[in-house]
Amino acid sequence: MLLSVIALVPIVWLIIALAVFKLPGHIACLSALAIAAVLALLLWHMPVLDCVTSALEGFAAALWPIILVIIAAIFTYNLSLKTGAMDVIKGMLTSVSADRRVLILLIGWSFGGFLEGMAGFGTAIAIPAGILVGLGMNPVPACLSCMLANSFPTAFGSVGIPTVTLTNVTGLEPIPLAFTTVVQMVPFMILVPFLMVIVGGGGVKALKGVVGITLVAGISFVLPELVVSYFVGPELTVIVGSVVSLACVVLMGRLRRNKPVPAEYDMRASAPKTLSQEKGNKPAMGALTAWLPFILIFVFLLLTSKLVAPVNTFLAQFSSTFQISTSPNAGTTSFSWINTPGVLIFIAAIIGGIAQKASGKLMWQTFVATLKQLVKTVITIMSVLAVAKIMTYSGMIADMANLFVTLTGQFYPFVSPIIATIGAFVTGSGTNTEVLLGGLQTEAASAIGVSQFWLAAANSTGAGIGKILSPQCIATAVAAVGMTGQDSVLLKGIFKWAMLMLVIACLIVGLLIGISPA
């Protein structure tokens, strides 16, 4: 029992280091890694070699594909700034609406959901947050809005991988599990757009005049999710939902263009000078050329996904599998060298850059500048993934989770989202949280005689909340908008909203367990 409590120490320290001591993310995570390693060695009696190789596995998993995709996404955005493509994109977006609140829904919620559904791994925060800041929005609310948006689509990110993984771990049928997960998330998919407007607009007063479009943004996302998850399964759930939401928000944004925009929300007043404005001329680049990198990202991710099986199968052969950790609990680690979002985004960015007349020198300079921008972020993510691997393979995560099951008994459904939230806080990944804790959730469900589908879905719900609290997620956000080292600011800003959603999740899972759809 005491060991199970001590297992929480690295997590508690991370929260204190970031929120109380306001340490930079890379320092906080490096210190948490040291604490986790010492505890694993001394109290869980993890062999030194197992501890070291588990940390190395974490480093490798962080570098490929997570850090790769973050570098690729931010490189794409930075290059679009250099070529002037972002000038054109900004103009098109503000032609839909100059209202900051509408743009938050359009870019952060709908477009961000699409990026999560197609790629995941931080793209849904890095790219939308970067665009919003480029339009003139304050970096902190821009990041917080995009982090909120990224919470619940996580369950079906990267063409449904987290939920597909959960079905593999638990043995549950994918379609009923996907549908149950969406049913459980319905209140959140409607609530989150309102929270985004409140956060991005500076308070509840920001909802005045945009309640209708905010409600439509949520409903038009979740209703298609319900239909797709029920008839098709997890792979297309978020992709279809986000596309329908994007179309509805664009349509409503255009319909309300003649309405006056309050000065405090008018992005035309706050937008910084564009490259073309500074040169005193109009951008010559066409819309298709400006959007080409992002269009190609969509096309490449779609064509190489499991939805196009022949291409996916062909590219799958270009991969390697290694046994990195020597721990008995460790599996192999696989690396896909071509069919991974980071590589595909880089290819799209380079092709788009060539079309935008970017020279090789400009692309190289932008790439080097992006790497320099992300040094501390790389350290943060590598450290936190190493913490996750050490805590997992030493047994710390399992002991911590079993503590909750033992203490709560029949009331376990009320705390099941909390366990998943903690797991995602450590790993920064919905998929890894499903692997770590999915089996525990279904075993607990069997032990207390409740729906396995409902508690498995609760693992996805909690994972979405924990992900936006994770140092990995925060590091991605601060890097995208040039706030590196200010992780504590975002943690403080997101914490209260995450706790609100966690309380609601616990009540939904606990109170509705008896009438769960599975």
CA–CA distance, 257 with 265 (Å, rounded to integer): 14
Q: Which token pair is 512?
A: 């509705």
Model pLDDT, residue 284: 65
Q: At what angle do helices 85-96 and 123-134 cross, to 10 degrees?
A: 80
Flag whether 74 is in a domain.
yes
Flag whether 293 is in a domain.
yes
Burial 349-386 (b: 16+ CB within 10 A, else e): bbebbebbebeeeebeebbeebeebbebbbbbbbbbbb
Model pLDDT, residue 300: 87
CA–CA distance, 278 with 395 (Å, rounded to integer): 58
Flag whether 65 is in a domain.
yes
Dihedral, 13, 18, 22, 24 alpha carbons, nearest 10: 110
Model pLDDT, residue 191: 98
Determine which helix (DSSP H) or strand (DSSP E) holds 310, and give its type and residue range.
Answer: helix 309-316
Q: Are 102 and 207 in contact (CB under 8 A)?
A: no
**Backbone φ, ψ for residue 121 (5° rounding):** 55, 35
Q: 3-state class of 336 per DSSP?
A: strand
What angle (nearest 5°) sits at the alpha carbon of residue 416, between those of residues 441 and 401? 70
- State the SS3 of 188-238: HHHHHHHHHHHHHHCCHHHHCCCHHHHHHHHHHHHHHHHHHHHHCCCCCHH
Flag whether 276 is in a domain.
no
Kindly report the number of other CB atoms within 10 A of residue 6's CB atom. 15
The domain tally of the chain equals 1
Kindly report the number of other CB atoms within 10 A of residue 446's CB atom. 10
Model pLDDT, residue 275: 46
Range of the domain at 364: 2-271+281-515
Model pLDDT, residue 100: 94
Model pLDDT, residue 271: 56
Q: Are 203 and 166 in contact (CB under 8 A)?
A: no
Helix count (H) and strand count (E) of the chain? Answer: 27, 2
Taking the model in full, what pTM does it have?
0.81
Determine which helix (DSSP H) or strand (DSSP E) holds 503, and give its type and residue range.
Answer: helix 487-511
Q: What is the DSSP letter of 107?
A: I
Which stretches of the chain drop beneath a pLDDT of 50? 274-277, 280-282
Please enumerate in sequence order all residues whose Cβ is within 8 A of that of 295, keeping only pairs 6 or more positions apart, or say none: 288
